[in-house]
Amino acid sequence: MELESGRPRVLHVTSAWGAGVQTALIEYARQGRGYEHHLVHSLDNEFLIDSELDGVFASRVAAPSGYSSLVRTARREIRQVNPDVLHLHSAVAGGLGRIFLAGGRARPAIVYSPHAYLFERAYLARPVRSGVRACEMLLARRTDLTVGVSPYEVRLAESLGSKARYVPNIVTDAPQEARWLGAEAGNSEGLPQITTIGRLMPQKDPDFFLATIEEARKEGLQARWTWIGTGNEQDVGRLRTAGVEVTGWLSRAKTFEILCRSACYVHTAAWEGSPMSILEAATVGVPIVARSIPAIVSLGMPDRFSTPASLARGVIDVVSGRRIPTPPRVGDQNDQARALRLAYTEAVRQVEIRQTRAKSYGRHVGMDLDESK
């Protein structure tokens, strides 16, 4: 592999290659222009076409399925790329990387992006969540810097004992002509379209979404409900039985087309880091009615929709034109580029501090040994 010269290198490693993590990671590579970005990812959950990644990464390597394969592939690429920063994304790569790839004095700076901490998963039993949190506290000692995608995630990282910086997620690939068509926008049936985006999984809480639809229908709202994404067949079947259109994963252009003709975007996730789908909706001006969870509130959305009934009322208010909820704070390319540069610089500085201390300790021990002769 021939590496470009003159720029520090970042090796990104993730097993969660798909959905919002993929979108966020691509933006890191695009906005971190002072760095040469390389990528190792698993073959699981990949749905973007390769042409959308052309020129984004200096190298891109897909590891065979399995955690051990991801570790072996990452080790090989660390030797090949010799990165200044090893940036680990999400729980699996974050855990494996800090256990198996973070050893040695000459290791690169270790940066960890949780993209929503594992112990935030509400469906896990309390003892399990406590155990995962304890593991994160231990792994924080092998982390030079945690990158949080929301102010809430930064606070969580700091509570675990890690140094942390906020690097906002951004969206830059919306078509130039993509703009919200207004609350009266609808589909061919003349009904307002209510849209959500995400992988059908416990985090996105399809049960809460279905309960919101039921509450909205009780209030007399007739609408076309759409879920962009997919998941296990059981959840897909339940949504379709309830009259929800489940589109599967769509191209970016088609996703923005549906968003722009939606009366509003609904987000029902039980926990988040900083959902890319909300930022996508905000970028094109679509009103957002989001379940009130700490990460969402920390992004500047003070509206309180904590139950399916309150969320349904929020949707009805938007569709009827009575009220538009407060949108999230949306950063731009300069915001992310500046924050990412500061994060990587600080992580490398932590390595330099550690190495200086190790040398100082070595000299001190050597002196003691000499004096003991």
181, amino acid identity: L
Domain count, the chain: 2
Length of the chain: 373
Check which CATH number belongs to the domain holding 116 and give it: 3.40.50.2000
CB atoms within 10 A of CB 162: 22
User: Does 312 share its domain with 241?
Assistant: yes
Domain membership of residue 273 as a residue range = 193-320
Residue with tokens 């910086």: 165
User: Does 160 share its domain with 14?
Assistant: yes
Q: At what angle do helices 19-31 and 333-371 cross, to 10 degrees?
A: 80
Q: Under a CB-based contact definition with an 8 Å cutoff, are residues 1 and 29 in contact?
A: no
Domain annotation covers residue 149: yes
Domain annotation covers residue 268: yes
Residue 20 pLDDT: 73
| 243-263 pLDDT per residue, tens | 999 999 998 899 999 999 999
Q: Under a CB-based contact definition with an 8 Å cutoff, are residues 95 and 135 in contact?
A: yes
What is the C-alpha to C-alpha distance for residues 360 and 340, in angstroms, rounded to an integer?
A: 30
Partnered with residue 145 across adjacent β-strands are 111
Residue 324 pLDDT: 83
- Cβ burial of 358 (10 Å; 0-12, 13-18, 19+) is exposed
On the question of pLDDT at 358 being above 70, the answer is no
User: Does 29 share its domain with 125?
Assistant: yes
Mean pLDDT of 64-93: 94
| Residue 109 token pair | 């700076």
- According to DSSP, residue 166 is labeled E
263 against 3, higher pLDDT:
263
Q: Under a CB-based contact definition with an 8 Å cutoff, are residues 210 and 239 in contact?
A: yes
On the question of pLDDT at 105 being above 80, the answer is no
**Residue 6 backbone dihedrals phi, psi, to 5 degrees:** 90, -5
User: Does 154 share its domain with 13?
Assistant: yes
CB contact set of 38 (below 8 Å; sequence gap of 6+):
9, 10, 11, 12, 57, 58, 59, 60, 61, 77, 81, 83
CB atoms within 10 A of CB 323: 13
User: Does 20 share its domain with 119?
Assistant: yes
CB atoms within 10 A of CB 237: 11
| 311-343 pLDDT per residue, tens | 999 999 999 988 888 888 888 899 999 999 999
| 141-181 pLDDT per residue, tens | 999 999 999 999 999 999 999 999 999 999 888 888 888 98
Nearest to 97 by CA among 160, 139, 35: 139
Nearest to 89 by CA among 131, 126, 45: 45
Q: Under a CB-based contact definition with an 8 Å cutoff, are residues 242 and 227 in contact?
A: no
User: Does 26 share its domain with 158?
Assistant: yes
pTM: 0.86
